Each structure stands twice: as C-alpha cells, then as structure tokens.
C-alpha cells in the first residue's frame, strides 16, 4: 500500500462512518434501549481499531529524529519504539489534539509496537480498548523489552474478556512473577519521582495534583478527612467535597507566612466607535507623579509627571464599552479611591474574577505590577531597536500579550518561553509585531522547518505545514485599533 492508497481508504472509511452516524441519528430513535447500547458496543470495536491504526503510523513517524546542524536539518531513523522529542508536537499539529494527549498516544503506540505485539494486535482487531492497553503499558513501566514480551505472552489471551477495572492489578501481578527484581527497582525509582503541581481549572478554581509516597498520602488523607468532619459539624451546608477542599487549603497554609509577587495583565481596551449606541463605563486610574511608565519597545522609563499632557490623560481615563471589551471582563472592582481592576488570568493557575483580585490586593501582601499598553502598537512611542535581544519593556509586553507559548496545544506560561523572531533578525526587526513567545522545545521545532508560522497585527499566530494544513492560536490579550482623535471620549 502506498501513501495515496491509504488516504483514499481512510476517506472512504470516514465517509461510510459519517453516513452511518447520520442514519443512526434519525433511524435509531425508535429502537429499544438495549438495541441502542448493543450498537454502541459494536461501534467501540470500530473506534478501537481506528485508534490502533493511527497509533501504528504515529509510531513510525515518531521514530525519525531530527537534528539541526549548520548545513540544515539532519534526520536519523531509529527502530520502532523510539520517540523523537518533537513527535508529540508534530502529532498535535497533524491531529488537532492537545500536545499532552498527542504525546500520550505516541508513547503508547511506540510501546505497543516495541514491547507488546500481542496486545497491539488486539487493539488493531478492535478487541481491546486503548484504555486497557494503556493500563498494561503503565503497569510494566521500568521493565526491559524481554520482560514486557513475557508479560504480553502470558496476559494477552485473557485481556479481551477481563474486567477493565482489574487489568492494571492483574498486569502488575504477572509482571511481579516474571521480573520481580525489575518491579522492585522501579518501585524504588518512582519514590524519587514524587512531585506536586497546579494547573488551571474551571473559572475561579485551580487543579492540584501530587505524586506522593503511599504512606504519606494515607496520613495526609486522614488529616484532611478529620478536619473536614469538624468543618461539617460547624456548617451543615458544606458538602463533603467542599469541606475536604477547605481542610486541604487550611492544612497546607497552617503555620505558613504567605506573601507573593504577581504581575496582573489588566487590559485597557479602546476601539472604533460602535455603529449603534452601547453601554459604556468611564474608568479613572490614579497615577503618582513619580510612578514609572515603560516604553514597551525601547524599554525607556519615564516618570508619569514628565509625559505630555495628552499622554497623561490617555493613561488616566478610559471609556470601556461592552463591544470593545470583547473577551475581557465587563466588570471592574474597586481597590482604592480612583483605582479599579478587572478579572485576569494568572499564568499556570487560571482565571481570577475582578472581586477576588480586588480582595487579594486589599488583604494579602502582594507586590502587583501594572502594564500600560497603547492599544494599537503596545508602545508609548513608535520606535524600534536595532539590537537582537529585546529590551525588558518589550519582553514584558510580548509576554503579557501572548500569555503562553504560541505553539498549537502548548500551555507553558510565556514567562518561561523564548522570544522568537518571526522573520529572522536582522532581516526582521526586534519589535513586538515580529516577536512571539515559544517554549524552548517549540522554538527548536520551528527551526526544523516542517511547520512555519506567521503573526498578524492583532497577535494571531497561524502555523502552516508543507501540505498547507493550518493551525491558529490566539493571543491572551489582543490589541485593538485606537479611537480616532475626534472619536475619543471626553476628559
């Protein structure tokens, strides 16, 4: 089979499945519940077989390692099972999945191809869900290829009919029997991999995750439950989950002195006059004469009192409209006389509403920085720099604009990223319009040349591969055109 034949067959399969789906959406309405569930079970085999096929070709693609040299990219093909560092990003772009999910798919496919051929055969036949295959691979972490193949041979025949809730435990039992020393060594290694971290959750919430030794976890869980019971006795309106969350936070902060330094990107947005009247709100921001304003291109610092009168006015008053604000919060919360903040996104943690931000500023010892941006260019003066390395003010502006790495599917905070010149320097200027935040991994990937990107004047980044496939990412804060002088709000 060649590449063209594969594409034709995939297109035919997709057309057939899509047609079946449309017919089921109409024709299955009158079926009995058990009939619907039976067909759902039959379709799972189709889904599983397709995922298996996808994994096979992804594993072949992931084994090619690309290395940058002075003469250009150099490729080396490894045996199946090797996963190039850039493979998750490449699969993410090709499939439209997040990089994390794409990476897990590639890693599973590579492991099955290299170490679990019988389990892989079950997936390709549609007889074993991918989730169960993942449990087998995870339970054999740290085992060499020979040990994995022995586990595979002993386990695969029973997997299709095995309770999926028992797959992980049964795989561990078999692994301990065929390679007890390797299992013990892996257990010792995993204790050194203990970690704790956070990631954005639903608006106003943050997800915590932790890998801790089991004994430590048991003690901590007991403490959380004990304190949660006390809270519920004091407040019977609390659910058990809410009480546990409160107990966890209180135990974590007990006997701890809290302070933080936070940069809040609070957007100030103006736009062209709306064709129809819309609700507006005038917001006043008080500046001290000695407060410093940073030019986001040159990095030059200027005292507020030394700015031209029109610039001081522009920074002190803004008229916000619902239409202009767009995706930003439409409400502002007062912090002190003449100063208000909007809701904002805290990098790596999630969205914080305006009321919570105001409460934090009033109660916690937070050192908060403000970024003042001209809505059209992000600068106070239209200057550029001839240097390769952007000045501090420009870096802060691009970081605030982008929010995260601008690669499709990547959520690494922009603060931890490189600033990449879209058009290479010195052909391309060192300006916000020619700079994009890319994490180190995706900065290197861009240099490989399979995917290129362009950025427009609003900050939108479009990635394009050699076949013309595109992926688009949006900035965290989009700059909008400024009002014309005659349309500016009265001061």
Together in a domain, 331 and 402: yes
Together in a domain, 129 and 242: no
Residue 279: the pLDDT is 40
Using the structure block, give the residue that is written with the tokens 């309405």: 29
Together in a domain, 14 and 46: yes
Together in a domain, 31 and 175: yes
Residue 6: the pLDDT is 94
First to last CA, the chain: 72
Per residue in 412-462, pLDDT tens? 888 889 999 988 887 777 777 888 999 988 888 887 777 888 888 778 899
Numbers of helices and strands, H then E, in the chain: 16, 19
Under DSSP, is residue 50 helix (H, G, I), strand (E, B) or coil? helix
Per residue in 259-314, pLDDT tens? 555 444 443 333 333 334 334 444 455 566 776 655 544 445 667 778 777 666 65
Residue 360: the pLDDT is 61
Together in a domain, 178 and 245: no
Together in a domain, 223 and 160: no
In which domain, by residue range, is 215 found? 198-253
Together in a domain, 178 and 56: yes
DSSP labels for 256-325? ----EEEE--------SPPSS---EEEEE----TT-EEE-TTT--EEEGGGS-HHHHHHHHEEEEEHHHH
Together in a domain, 332 and 352: yes
Residue 78 is given by DSSP the state: P
Residue 75: the pLDDT is 85
Single residue among 153, 172, 191 that ends a domain in this structure = 191
Q: Cα(184)–Cα(186) distance, rounded to whole angstroms?
A: 5
Average pLDDT over residues 164-188: 90
Together in a domain, 171 and 319: no
Per residue in 76-94, pLDDT tens? 999 999 999 889 999 999 9
How confident is residue 382, by pLDDT bands cut at 50, 70 and 90? very low
Together in a domain, 490 and 445: yes
Average confidence score pLDDT of the chain: 78
Single residue among 209, 224, 253 that ends a domain in this structure = 253
- Answer whether residue 23 shows pLDDT above 50: yes
Comparison of pLDDT for 424 and 106, the residue scoring more: 106
When divided into structural domains, the chain yields a total of 3
pTM over 0.75: no
Single residue among 253, 271, 293 that ends a domain in this structure = 253
Comparison of pLDDT for 133 and 410, the residue scoring more: 133
Together in a domain, 143 and 180: yes
Together in a domain, 245 and 387: no
How confident is residue 397, by pLDDT bands cut at 50, 70 and 90? confident
- Answer whether residue 69 shows pLDDT above 50: yes
């Amino acid at each position: 089979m060649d590449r063209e034949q594969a594409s034709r067959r995939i297109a035919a399969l997709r057309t057939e499945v899509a047609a079946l789906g449309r017919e089921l959406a109409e024709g299955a309405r009158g079926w009995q519940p058990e009939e619907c569930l039976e067909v759902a079970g039959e379709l799972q085999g189709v889904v599983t077989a397709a995922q298996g096929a996808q994994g096979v070709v992804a594993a072949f693609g992931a084994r090619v390692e690309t290395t940058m040299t002075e003469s250009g990219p150099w490729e080396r093909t490894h045996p199946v099972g090797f996963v190039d560092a850039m493979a998750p990003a490449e699969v993410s772009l090709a499939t439209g999945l997040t990089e994390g999910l794409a990476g897990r798919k590639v890693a599973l496919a590579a492991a099955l191809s290299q170490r679990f051929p019988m389990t892989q055969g079950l997936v390709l036949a549609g007889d074993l869900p991918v989730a169960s295959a993942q449990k087998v691979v995870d339970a054999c972490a740290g085992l060499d290829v020979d040990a994995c193949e022995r586990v595979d041979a002993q386990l695969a025949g029973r997997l299709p009919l095995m309770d999926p809730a028992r797959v992980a435990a049964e795989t561990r039992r078999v692994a301990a029997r065929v390679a007890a020393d390797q299992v013990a060594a892996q257990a010792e290694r995993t204790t050194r991999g203990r970690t704790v971290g956070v990631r954005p959750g639903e608006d106003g919430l943050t997800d915590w995750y932790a890998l801790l030794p089991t004994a430590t976890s048991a003690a901590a869980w007991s403490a959380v439950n004990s304190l949660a019971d006390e809270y519920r006795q004091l407040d019977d309106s609390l659910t058990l989950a809410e009480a546990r969350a409160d107990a966890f936070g209180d135990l974590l902060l007990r006997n701890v002195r809290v302070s933080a330094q936070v940069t809040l990107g609070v957007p100030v947005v103006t736009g062209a006059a709306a064709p129809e009247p819309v609700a507006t709100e005038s917001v006043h921001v008080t500046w001290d004469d000695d407060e410093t304003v940073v030019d986001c291109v040159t990095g030059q610092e200027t005292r507020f009192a030394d700015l031209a009168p029109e610039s001081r006015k522009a920074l002190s008053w803004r008229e916000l409209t619902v239409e202009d604000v767009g995706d930003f919060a439409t409400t502002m919360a007062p912090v002190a006389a003449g100063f208000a903040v909007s809701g904002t996104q805290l990098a790596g943690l999630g969205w914080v509403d305006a009321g919570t931000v105001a409460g934090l500023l009033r109660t916690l010892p937070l050192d908060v920085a403000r970024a003042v941006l001209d809505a059209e260019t992000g600068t106070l003066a239209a200057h550029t720099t001839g240097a390769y390395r952007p000045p501090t003010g420009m870096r802060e502006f691009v970081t605030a604009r982008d929010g995260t790495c601008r690669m499709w599917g990547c959520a690494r905070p922009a603060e931890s990223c490189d600033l990449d010149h879209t058009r290479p320097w010195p052909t391309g200027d060192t300006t916000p319009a020619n700079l994009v935040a890319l994490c180190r991994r995706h900065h290197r990937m861009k240099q490989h040349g399979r995917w290129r990107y362009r950025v427009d004047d609003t900050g939108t980044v479009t990635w394009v591969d050699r076949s013309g496939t595109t992926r688009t990412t949006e900035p965290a804060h989009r700059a909008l055109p400024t009002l014309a002088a005659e349309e500016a709000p009265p001061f």
